[in-house]
Structure 1
Amino acid sequence: MTELTASTSVWLDFLKQQGAQFDADGAELLGFGASAPAPESLESFMAPLTGLGIIGVAGDDAASFLHSQLTNDVEHLDTSAARLAGYCSPKGRLLASFLMWRNPEFIFLQLPRPLQTAIQKRLQMFVLRAKAKLSDQGANTAIIGLAGPAAKNSLAEWYPVLPAEPYAKIDNANGTLLRLADSAGSARYQWVTTPEIAIAAWPRLSQHLTPTGPQAWRLSDIRAGVPQITAPTQEQFVPQMVNFELIGGVNFKKGCYPGQEIVARSQYLGKLKRRTMLATVDSNAVVAGNEVFSSADPAQPCGMVVNAETAGEGRSLALVEIKLAAADGPIHLGSAEGPALHFHDLPYELADPQ
């Protein structure tokens, strides 16, 4: 895990003064006290995303280097857009999923902070003679997720014009504002800025939006059908298994990258047999990496939980990778006798490859 700087500590100390509670390591925000509204009940909220890290890649060859490593087009990424991208093993299995954007100096790769050190080190191993340098760009950064109908007006003071569509972005003196995939019919934004600006903005933002922990943001990701690779699911999925090409995370026209042949073969040779679906689970103890089982074939798992968060009333909301052939029958968590899964429509179609 990356080390916290003095600037980051100021941000975390400020959040504690606002009632934020952190985990034992002091880096992951859990919530804003027992009396705060439950994350799943919030319509409009703001969440400090303290569990995310950012790798910055700079240098004359930064774009070409990353283009040869990631599943998406980096060479044609401009400064007005963000993209999803995956980093695969040679076997085509995802080691990490990124939110990616750039400015004139850096290309930024956002990922869960616990994965950052190892992924950054692995990428650095393949730089070789390329003029590209990787660094931790999240150490002096505050990231706030803003979602719901009130998010737009809450940002007007700093961003009079907002990104017009998902994965558009705007830079100004106040930092970077990224619009991400809509969730539950509302726009979502990430504001990437300095701790000083975030601290100054917090009181005015809180007039419009309820402060909460990152769980609410992760729930909104799940509702949007956007997966995030975490430690328990590294090397478990080819990108299509988590619908990554359906949400813009894979470019099949770009050049080679680790695992590219397997990813392409999965796309063009035969019908995809596994996808990720949205489900509620009759348990509040669901975590990424849990296996799921079909009543029709109880001896072996038919899928795996990609991401999950508690959603109240003893249930969790989850993205679950599953064999499509098993999806019509009863599916259970942990064993064929475990808590039941109930599937729901995603906000996009589970299209077959052309």
Structure 2
Amino acid sequence: MTYSLNGSAPLTALGVIRAEGADAAKFLHGQLTQDFALLGQDQARLAAFCNAKGRMQASFIGFKRSPTEILLICHRDLLAPTLKRLSMFVMRAQAKLSDATADFALYGQVGEAAGTPQPAWSIATAGDATTISLYPADGQARALRVAPVALPAPAGPALSEELWLWSEVRSGIATVSQPIFEALVPQMLNYESVGGVNFKKGCYPGQEIVARSQFRGTLKRRAAIVHADAALMAGQEVFHSGDAEQPCGVVVQAAAAPEGGWDAIVSLQIAAMQDGTLTVGSAAGHALTLLPLPYELLADI
């Protein structure tokens, strides 16, 4: 099959939470794994919302539209419960949270459609439209465009959402969805290596666990990219040939590969990446092939 990783795709699986008010940045700073207190309007943030045990309940790409308005882009299947949980902590803060999905059109852009490659999480604005540079996939620039629904769709070629979702997997940056709710700490998705965790900021739910995983050598899982000949889906367990009974990992995000089979981001025990064979679903399931990770893991923070 022929395909082109160039164009813009409407993103139906993502939603938007709006935080507005004088304390919006301060409030989010105290809840998420990244620094929102010092966030300017030229940068976005990758961030996680964790429970008290450091397990991820949601992940976001967040940015400021104005000094008092922040948008959080997250998986739509977790938006409503996440909005409810975050709202419980607002208390006396001058911040209002709402579901703003209906107000904005989200597009994933790849290749020439993404514009001139920029460092990940940098922002370009054109009127009311915001374009956030993302990590590339297979050498192709990628971006997330967020604009009011009244604005025209991006000019240029259309890209299927399926190809966009595949580029998401190939970028190695996972978005937390319902099947992996509260299953992983951020480092199990390599978030500390791709700008998703700030270890110098103040407290947030689960901060002690996240910091302990980083600095006490207790982290035993990492994110990897795999390929299979059969369909994959988030939440499937992964097994290693050395132990047919206990899973060694979980599929986090998967997409059909345009040249056949499926690719996926999986969170695996580090030991399971060294040797032996990997299968999905059971020890007798379809084989998984480890693919190169497209970015370097940080050796030190």
Q: Does 1:111 align with 2:92?
A: no
Matches within 5 A, 1:44-55: 44-55=6-17
Does the CA-based 8 Å contact 2:212-2:218 persist in structure 1?
no
- Paired residues, what number? 299
How far residue 198 of structure 1 moved from its aligned partner, in angstroms, is: 2.5
**Which residue identity does 1:218 align to in structure 2?**
L
CA RMSD of aligned residues (A): 1.7
Structure 2 unaligned blocks of 5 or more = none
CA deviations on 1:122-141 (whole Å, 9 max, x unpaired) are 10000011111111222121
Residue matched to 1:95: 57
Residue matched to 1:169: 123
Identity score, percent: 44
Q: Does 1:275 align with 2:222?
A: yes
CA deviations on 1:18-70 (whole Å, 9 max, x unpaired) are xxxxxxxxxxxxxxxxxxx77xx332121001221111111111111111100
Residue matched to 1:212: 160
Q: Does 1:129 align with 2:77?
A: no
Separation in structure 2 between the aligned mates of residue 263 and residue 164 of structure 1, nearest angstrom: 29
Matches within 5 A, 1:339-350: 339-350=286-297
Matches within 5 A, 1:1-354: 41-104=3-66, 105-152=68-115, 164-199=118-153, 201=154, 205-206=155-156, 209-213=157-161, 215-270=162-217, 272-284=219-231, 286-312=232-258, 315-327=261-273, 328-353=275-300
How far residue 254 of structure 1 moved from its aligned partner, in angstroms, is: 0.4
Does the CA-based 8 Å contact 1:272-1:352 persist in structure 2?
no
How far residue 194 of structure 1 moved from its aligned partner, in angstroms, is: 2.6
**Which residue identity does 1:144 align to in structure 2?**
Y
Normalised by the length of structure 2, the TM-score is 0.94
**Which residue identity does 2:182 align to in structure 1?**
E
CA deviations on 1:203-249 (whole Å, 9 max, x unpaired) are xx24xx23312x22221111111011000000000110110111000
In terms of Rg, which structure is larger? 1
Separation in structure 2 between the aligned mates of residue 317 and residue 77 of structure 1, nearest angstrom: 34
Separation in structure 2 between the aligned mates of residue 299 and residue 164 of structure 1, nearest angstrom: 45
Does the CA-based 8 Å contact 1:283-1:314 persist in structure 2?
no
Normalised by the length of structure 1, the TM-score is 0.80
Does the CA-based 8 Å contact 2:62-2:71 persist in structure 1?
yes
Distance of aligned partners of 1:304 and 1:184 in 2 relative to their CA distance in 1, 3 Å threshold: same
2:151 aligns to what SS in structure 1? helix
Separation in structure 1 between the aligned mates of residue 41 and residue 107 of structure 2, nearest angstrom: 20
